[in-house]
Amino acid sequence: MNYVRLHVNVDHVATVRQARGESYPDPVWAAAVCELAGADGITVHLREDRRHIVDRDVRILRETVRTVLNLEMAATDEMVEIACNLKPDLCTLVPEKREERTTEGGLAVEGETLEKSIKKLSDAGIAVSLFVDPEVPVVRASAGMGADIVELHTGDYCNARGGERAKELNRLAVAAEEAMGNDLRVAAGHGLDYPNVKEVAAIPGIEELNIGHAIIARALFSGMDRAVRDMIDTIRDGVFCA
């Protein structure tokens, strides 16, 4: 039986390191502890401005990660070249704006540049995921562009209150169903936390969750091992996917 997989995003560990210009805390150490605690994969976002994860991190992680290395990046020539040389297991293409604090919206799934980037990554043997808003036309366009996976943006669900939350959950479920119907694998992420993750993990078709902030924030108080195990327990509490 399969279960919903957890990929831990360790960018925030690098953020603390960069804040002091030191060599620690090291996201490579964090990744190892996450894997020992049962994480199914490690996610890092190599941003164009290198504000947290830097090239050295992804190089070492490629050698040390024993599960799955998911490299998040913008679909630029520079990043595609780095990925094709590095060969992460999976590349998640995200929109990137310099001023933003974190990835804000889903990718605009259009244009020759994006299609070429997907093709180059696929030709290099890398699975390609597109981080998209949970909208049927965007999911269909992702399949048309040759993506293998869509990561559904859960930000609106996480921010929704009251009755809006059920609507957002339904939006995610409809998008996940559309993705499966188009032979896409389905992941989800952004803003997921211990109290709100279970409903998303229970959506049919969702195989994988990318979670960063909530886990690293909890790790400050309970340690990384505990924080990862607690998230895994929360996600997998009776939730399986086919």
Closest Cα to residue 204, out of 18, 4, 54? 4
Q: Give yes or no: 7 in active site.
A: no
For residue 157, state whether it binds ligand PXP (rule: CB under 6 A): no
Q: Which of residues 36-75 bind ligand PXP (CB under 6 A)?
A: 45, 72
Q: Which stretch binds ligand PXP (CB under 6 A): 14-22, 58-66, 190-198, 230-238?
A: 190-198
Q: Does residue 211 touch ligand PXP according to CB under 6 A?
A: yes
Residue 78: CB atoms within 10 Å: 11
Of the candidates 102, 122, 182, 196, which one interacts with ligand PXP according to CB under 6 A? Answer: 102
Q: Classify residue 38 as exposed, middle or buried by CB count within 10 Å of its CB (0-12, 13-18, 19+).
A: middle
| Helix pair 163-181, 136-144: axis angle to 10 deg | 20
- 7, 12, 35, 45: which is the annotated catalytic residue? 45
Burial class (CB in 10 A: 0-12, 13-18, 19+), 213: middle
The answer to whether 153 is a known catalytic residue is no
Binding of ligand PXP at residue 189 (CB under 6 A)?
yes
Cα–Cα separations (whole angstroms), residue 223 to 138, 200, 228:
38, 25, 9
> Mapping DSSP to helix (H, G, I), strand (E, B) and coil, where does residue 239 land?
coil
Whole-number Å distance between alpha carbons of 140 and 68: 26
Told to judge if 112 belongs to the known catalytic residues of this protein, a careful annotator would answer no
Residue from 4, 8, 58, 131 touching ligand PXP (CB under 6 A): that is 131
Of these, 190, 199, 208, 231, which contacts ligand PXP (CB under 6 A)?
190
Identify the active-site residue in 12, 52, 72, 168: 72
Residue from the set 58, 121, 192, 219 that interacts with ligand PXP by CB under 6 A: 192
Interface pick for ligand PXP out of 94, 132, 175, 179 (rule CB under 6 A)? 94
Give the CA diameter of the chain.
47
Catalytic residues, which ones?
A: 45, 72, 190
Residues that bind ligand PXP (CB under 6 A): 9, 11, 45, 72, 92, 94, 102-103, 131, 151, 189-192, 210-214
